[in-house]
Structure 1
Amino acid sequence: MNDFIAIKNIQEVIDRKVLLPTVVLWNRLEGRPRTKNFIRALRAEIRDPLWMLCKQWQTGEFKGDDAGSPIFAKVHMATTELTKYQPGDAAAQDFDRSAPLEAIVEQRPLPYNGQQHILSLDIRLLMGRQWLKYLQSAGLSALKPQYLQHPSYRIAEPDPASRSDAFLTAHPAVWQSLSAMAGRAMDGANLYFYLKADNSHHAYDGITLANDGDKTTIDGLAGKFVQWYEQLFYQPDQGQNDAWLPQQLEYQFAVSAPQHGAEKIMTAEEYYQGRLDWYNLDVDPARKSLGGDSGNPVEGATTLSFFPTAIQFEGMPNTRWWTFEEGKTNFGDIKPDTTDINKLLLMEFGLVYANDWFLVPFQLPVGSIADVQGLAVTNVFGERIWVTASGSGSDENWQRWAMYNLSVKGSNDVRADTSLLLLPTVPKIQEGKPLEELWFVRDEVANMVWGIEKNIPLATGRSKPGNEAGRELFSRLESILDGEIEGGLVVPDIPEASAAIRYQLMQGVPENWIPMIPVHLDNNNREIQLQRASMPRIILGDPNPPEKIKPRTVLLRQGLDQQTPQPYFLHEEEVPRAGIQVTQAYQRTRWNNGQVFCWLGVKKQTSRGEGSSGLAFDRVKPVNQRLRHALRGR
């Protein structure tokens, strides 16, 4: 062991450091106790304990109850499970625990057709490839050319001279995709719809088989194909499970559970946030039953004993004197502003009352309701205390505060509901890019509401900005009109105008702006609602009557694609001055058994305020000579 070397003149060594650059110096200041005994230093002695006692008396710290730490607890809890689910105004059904509740509530039918042309070409091709794989695996690959050329399953190439196909040929990416797949790929969605339309339909209908024994094989493949698709996407069966309310642009559903021989009903009337939990539901005492059979209700009471455990969280003060807290959460590093009262209260609550919370574990299955009937706690002094719910009392008492409690619907002052609702939801959902984006804005100048299609779905399955798609469609219709004129279409002659000004009846708006005009409710002269209307598509030089511009988003085309088109009404109070933004996108999550669920869901949020379309009537404008000559040339 080397002997200790004392440096008598440290300044001399520092001055000579340039001559010896490899020499490293350390200099540390540390306390040195006067004695070798550390007992007194660890006592943390103070000189004036009476002064500290007086300060404690002044701050009221002596005004407390004798309280001991809990060492034993016994809880009596009544539990019941959800048995019914009702989407919107549809009939009630059995509560399904095999899927997350978000997928059950938010599921929407996938768009496959719109405005007389196909949509979701990517999914159609995916389904077609899957069916051809099934045929190949069964040794029936020789049937592939027949399915590719079948009139129902063949992807048709759009006609560039047809106005009805202008929605396809107006966008280059869509036109190229359809032309590339025409005659080379199969439309699997049409096969699925054909099989689901009637039980008597078979996948080999219209197909020439070499052997009649292949019919049994193809029927087995058809059942496998239908099951594969329905597991791939979670969507309502023929609209029966659709909880979406187009008139309010939100979801509405109800769940119920048996309780004390009756039925406890909880309703969600305004769900649109995309995150579903207990706070979206309210207890509805006015409804007695959702109808239908209750199945096998699971209701009972349980009494269990526990050893309470102190709650710990990051950054909480340690109870030991000479123990340092970890620095992951440092409450002392928080720098609140003068208005951050809530932040200061949270800091005080976490620092002062950190050791006053204890945990009594109790496991519950998802989709259940738990009601703590009472909690008996025994402390270190042997005292037994009966603890009741902190949020009990009147539901309208403004001083009542509780966590995770459901609100009670109605105007009556009733007893608060202190039960705990544990819904079968997931903590995280992956959301894709919006397939549709719709803005509802108020236009004070035009005194109406506009539905602006910010993003519209294309036939390929992708989306495109609505204003860009509208310009492309209008340009395509103009080029088709030019081709019709060259083919001999009679165009009315436009007389030569000698005036310098002209009268314009109405000024146009972009094609992605759909008007929502106010109309009176039936038998009511005061209340109004918004009805979807249409703007005319005016193409200069077109001898045909102007067409009505129809929306291209599924959300705004409500009722248009039915056999008999139906009007669409929207409640006027659903569109505030700030406007609303509605998006429809694919959702994906994984359930507790590892199964993946994909569905199409809608979300609504506040928009960016009012807007102006520039719509004007009865305008006097100068004559555009170049436009007049162009029309005469056309």
Structure 2
Amino acid sequence: MVLRIDRYHRLESRPGDRDLQNGFAARVHDPLWLLARQWQMGEHQGENASSPVRIDCTVTRTPIAPLAGDPAFDPTVVPAEALVESELDDWWTIGRRVRVGERFAANPATAEAKGVRFLDPPPPYDAFAGRLDGRAIWLGRERLGIAEAAFGGDAPPADSPQAWDSFRLNYNTQFDTAERPLAVIDHHGGPMDWYSADAATESPLAEPAAATAMRATIPMPLEYPGAPHSRFWEIEDANVDIGGYPPDTAHFATMLLVDLVYSHGDDWFLFPVAAKAGHIVTIRSLSVTDSFGKTYSSEDLDNANIKYPGLHAPGDFSIFKCDGLKDESLVLWPVAESPLESAPVERVQFGVDEHSNVLWALERIVDTREVNGVGGEPDDGHPQYPAAVPVSNLSGKRQYTYVPAAGVESRWHPYILDWKAESEPAFTQWGLADYSLQVPRPTPHPEAQVLKAGTAAAPQIHRISAAAMARGGLELERRWQLARDMTGRPVLWVQRQRRVLRNPPARTIRFDVMEESEPVP
């Protein structure tokens, strides 16, 4: 019997060694093996043989024009969210409404006028019940015979153009620039940045303004949590574990992140670019000088006589690409950084109910208060609902039995799908009637602003595009937002934000119908 014993050799630290210089030196006892290993890993190809030490670039800055040409709506000063999401008459806070109303306390035109006083305002403003409402007086000034001069310095400023699309339940607007108009399409409310706008491709792309003088900067390595440090003995942050992200095919973004960290984690460099908020910033030319004194310039791309043809922009990779603009252009908005927001002023939920075959719009919060199934009287100013169209043949004699509806709630507003719409299939707002009472009466009209269309002077029936409705339903909220502009002044506006629900609101309901019955002999 032969007993074979294998001996394993391993390197271990010497805890008794007090000389730290040997550890920092990191001596290699077999340099030939190290060179062979470097050759095997392709490190002798010289792909990362140098580092950039100087950047020279020229930049153009094209300003974004104010909305409607009004300097008060200048995107170089005012946050983009306030310009796009601002509602009509959102200048009227409760304090301004009370203060302006006090101006007309002795005016005989408001003494017996209807609809110019606060009716059950939300807490904590319920103490102003019965006081004059300055906004109501302003909107009804022609009816009351009050001139605008009577408001003095309390007259509201001009409103920004209304960008809310009540049909598609999103924001749509356009900003003009010298290069191309920037279109904000299908904005659901919330933060805005470069990804919120696309250049209108139907307009020709004009050349930007004259470039600034070439500026020299010093590039710095990109640093982020978990990135490998360039120094030999520098330890990474122990609280960030890049390997903790699962690099599987179901998480493609994490696969790219892990590949970036472990293959090119210390190959990215940053350099500052002088820019201004509210501008389209474009890098016209770029020149990089490395640690060996070699210069790579973007202007040498078409010169075939140069051995190193310069800087090539990636043709299939972009991080901040704005459609319709050049690859080297970036849209910079002044955004509302962490704005203060109020409690929901309104919250309305939408959902297609297959049992009732309608789209329900359910008012959850109206005027900052949670509401139940009890509503007020129908609004006389609401437009008339579409007339009912019979779907059966009424030429012959029939006998019907009337069956009243059941399960009707005043805060549940039905929308009927209209397949014969002129533009596209849409849900049209209808009304319900409560026939469980001795004297049937229609349910109140919607109070939430998101369920209204048109203007106060010319109201319209609210319609919703069928393509805008998600399978699980939607939720719309209105909130006050408070931020500051580029000069530090406060900016206040009302934001509408759309979210997708997991489950749509639904209820079992039976409509009032006429059921055909057997003729009485």
Q: Settle same-fold status: TM greater than 0.5.
A: yes
Question: For residues 397-422 of structure 1, what are the alpha-carbon distances to aligned partners after superposition, in whole Å with 9 as ceiling and x for unaligned?
Answer: xxx120111124xxxxxx96431111
1:148·1:186 contact (CA, 8 Å) conserved in 2?
A: no
Which of 166, 176, 182 aligns to 1:266? It is 182
Question: For residues 482-505 of structure 1, what are the alpha-carbon distances to aligned partners after superposition, in whole Å with 9 as ceiling and x for unaligned?
Answer: xxxxxxxxxxxxxxxxxxxx9734
Asked if 1:99 corresponds to 2:2, the answer is no
- Per the alignment, residue 16 of structure 2 pairs with 32
SS at structure 2 position matched to 1:350: helix
Deviation of the 1:577 alpha carbon: 1.2
1:305 is aligned with what amino acid? Answer: A
SS at structure 2 position matched to 1:516: strand
Asked if 1:252 corresponds to 2:236, the answer is no
SS at structure 2 position matched to 1:317: coil
SS at structure 1 position matched to 2:177: strand
2:473 is aligned with what amino acid? Answer: G
Which of 431, 434, 446 aligns to 2:344? It is 434
SS at structure 2 position matched to 1:346: helix
Which structure 2 residues correspond to residues 183-222 of structure 1 after superposition, within 5 A? Answer: 185-193=131-139, 200-203=147-150, 222=151
- Per the alignment, residue 350 of structure 1 pairs with 261
CA 1:391–1:432 in structure 2 vs 1: closer, same or farther (change >3 Å)?
Answer: farther
2:433·2:442 contact (CA, 8 Å) conserved in 1?
A: yes
Deviation of the 1:299 alpha carbon: 2.5
Which of 190, 202, 211 aligns to 1:286? It is 202
Asked if 1:277 corresponds to 2:203, the answer is no
Greater shift in the superposed pair: 245-254 or 186-195: 186-195
2:61·2:276 contact (CA, 8 Å) conserved in 1?
A: no
Asked if 1:443 corresponds to 2:370, the answer is no
Asked if 1:538 corresponds to 2:435, the answer is yes
Which structure 2 residues correspond to residues 60-75 of structure 1 after superposition, within 5 A? Answer: 60-65=42-47, 67-75=49-57
Deviation of the 1:153 alpha carbon: 9.9
- Per the alignment, residue 417 of structure 2 pairs with 518
Deviation of the 1:334 alpha carbon: 3.2
Which of 361, 381, 387 aligns to 2:272? It is 361
1:377 is aligned with what amino acid? Answer: V
1:80·1:300 contact (CA, 8 Å) conserved in 2?
A: no
CA 1:156–1:577 in structure 2 vs 1: closer, same or farther (change >3 Å)?
Answer: closer
Which of 332, 342, 363 aligns to 1:453? It is 363
CA 1:70–1:130 in structure 2 vs 1: closer, same or farther (change >3 Å)?
Answer: same
CA 1:331–1:187 in structure 2 vs 1: closer, same or farther (change >3 Å)?
Answer: same
Asked if 1:506 corresponds to 2:405, the answer is yes
Which structure 2 residues correspond to residues 336-415 of structure 1 after superposition, within 5 A? Answer: 336=246, 340=251, 342-343=253-254, 345-350=256-261, 352-387=263-298, 393=315, 400-408=316-324
- Per the alignment, residue 553 of structure 1 pairs with 448
Asked if 1:568 corresponds to 2:462, the answer is yes
CA 1:84–1:391 in structure 2 vs 1: closer, same or farther (change >3 Å)?
Answer: farther
Asked if 1:241 corresponds to 2:191, the answer is no
2:116·2:137 contact (CA, 8 Å) conserved in 1?
A: no
- Per the alignment, residue 98 of structure 2 pairs with 128
2:98·2:134 contact (CA, 8 Å) conserved in 1?
A: yes
Alignment partners' CA distance in 2, 1:368 and 1:111 = 27
SS at structure 1 position matched to 2:254: helix
Alignment partners' CA distance in 2, 1:147 and 1:349 = 74
CA 1:517–1:332 in structure 2 vs 1: closer, same or farther (change >3 Å)?
Answer: closer
1:546 is aligned with what amino acid? Answer: R
Asked if 1:334 corresponds to 2:240, the answer is no
Asked if 1:223 corresponds to 2:202, the answer is no
- Per the alignment, residue 395 of structure 2 pairs with none
CA 1:304–1:504 in structure 2 vs 1: closer, same or farther (change >3 Å)?
Answer: same
1:153·1:191 contact (CA, 8 Å) conserved in 2?
A: no
TM-score (norm 1): 0.63
Asked if 1:43 corresponds to 2:25, the answer is yes
The percentage of aligned residue pairs carrying the same residue is 22
SS at structure 2 position matched to 1:330: coil
Alignment partners' CA distance in 2, 1:176 and 1:325 = 53
- Per the alignment, residue 499 of structure 1 pairs with none
CA 1:426–1:69 in structure 2 vs 1: closer, same or farther (change >3 Å)?
Answer: same
Question: For residues 207-259 of structure 1, what are the alpha-carbon distances to aligned partners after superposition, in whole Å with 9 as ceiling and x for unaligned?
Answer: xxxxxxxxxxxxxxx43333xx65xxxxx63xx61111111100001112113
Aligned residues: 463
List alignment gaps of at least 5 residues for structure 1. 1-29, 87-91, 113-119, 136-142, 159-167, 204-221, 231-235, 290-296, 394-399, 409-414, 475-501, 621-634
- Per the alignment, residue 396 of structure 2 pairs with none
List alignment gaps of at least 5 residues for structure 2. 1-13, 299-309, 378-400, 515-521
- Per the alignment, residue 307 of structure 2 pairs with none
Deviation of the 1:553 alpha carbon: 0.8
TM-score (norm 2): 0.75
CA 1:515–1:154 in structure 2 vs 1: closer, same or farther (change >3 Å)?
Answer: closer
Question: For residues 420-472 of structure 1, what are the alpha-carbon distances to aligned partners after superposition, in whole Å with 9 as ceiling and x for unaligned?
Answer: 11112222222211111111111122222111112222xxxx3223xx1x236
1:515 is aligned with what amino acid? Answer: P
Alignment partners' CA distance in 1, 2:279 and 2:444 = 49
1:125·1:186 contact (CA, 8 Å) conserved in 2?
A: no
Alignment partners' CA distance in 2, 1:574 and 1:154 = 35
SS at structure 2 position matched to 1:598: strand
Alignment partners' CA distance in 1, 2:450 and 2:479 = 12
Asked if 1:615 corresponds to 2:509, the answer is yes
Which of 474, 477, 497 aligns to 1:583? It is 477
1:255·1:267 contact (CA, 8 Å) conserved in 2?
A: yes
1:509·1:613 contact (CA, 8 Å) conserved in 2?
A: no
1:85·1:253 contact (CA, 8 Å) conserved in 2?
A: no
Higher helix share: 1
Alignment partners' CA distance in 2, 1:379 and 1:609 = 58
- Per the alignment, residue 471 of structure 1 pairs with 374
Question: For residues 501-554 of structure 1, what are the alpha-carbon distances to aligned partners after superposition, in whole Å with 9 as ceiling and x for unaligned?
Answer: x97343233221111101244568xx5211111111335222xx5225311211
Alignment partners' CA distance in 2, 1:381 and 1:389 = 16
CA 1:565–1:406 in structure 2 vs 1: closer, same or farther (change >3 Å)?
Answer: closer
Structure of higher CA gyration radius: 1
Which structure 2 residues correspond to residues 586-597 of structure 1 after superposition, within 5 A? Answer: 586-597=480-491
Asked if 1:109 corresponds to 2:88, the answer is yes
SS at structure 1 position matched to 2:428: strand
CA 1:377–1:447 in structure 2 vs 1: closer, same or farther (change >3 Å)?
Answer: same
1:100·1:425 contact (CA, 8 Å) conserved in 2?
A: yes
CA 1:385–1:523 in structure 2 vs 1: closer, same or farther (change >3 Å)?
Answer: closer
Which structure 2 residues correspond to residues 78-89 of structure 1 after superposition, within 5 A? Answer: 78-85=60-67
2:374 is aligned with what amino acid? Answer: R
1:517 is aligned with what amino acid? Answer: I
- CA-based RMSD of the aligned residues comes to 4.0
Deviation of the 1:194 alpha carbon: 6.3
Deviation of the 1:193 alpha carbon: 4.5
SS at structure 2 position matched to 1:584: strand
